[in-house]
Amino acid sequence: MSDERRQDPRHEIPLVAYIQVIKSDVHEAGLTMSAKVEEISSSGLRISPAAELDQAEIEMFVSIPSGHRLFLAADVRWSATDGENWESGLEVIDRNGTDFRAWHMFANEINRVRVAEVS
């Protein structure tokens, strides 16, 4: 489905993201939707959004298990459908005012725990 570009370890973890489109050629800026997070890495996420996300710039809140919500900016790198459901790959962007560093710490901690589980 996607062009394989991520090199960071990925992990399936059930999270929810609340998305707002900032810039897009297809969608109106301000469009909001929720999405199920399918997997994460320190550099991005694979999500199942309610509708297609074109190559857009988005902002989102991701609810993590601690109960915190991380505010992130991301570029939609790809979107694909199986005819019924959409899937999108997001690359997290380091932008002022976002929780970029907290996201990296969270994803790296998930990676550390998962690696320890397999060892």
Running along the chain, 119 residues long, what does each successive block of 10 average in pLDDT?
62 90 79 92 93 86 91 94 93 96 92 71
Q: What would the two tokens of residue 22 be? A: 């900032």
pTM of the model: 0.85
* Second CATH level (architecture) for the domain 11-118: Beta Barrel (2.40)
> How confident is the model at residue 3, as a pLDDT?
47
Residue 101 CB-half CA count within 13 A: 2
**All structural domains of the chain with their residue ranges:** 11-118
Q: Look at residues 8, 19, 102 and name the one whose alpha carbon lies nearest to residue 57.
A: 19
Distance (Å, rounded) from C-alpha 5 to C-alpha 33?
26
Distance (Å, rounded) from C-alpha 53 to C-alpha 96?
23
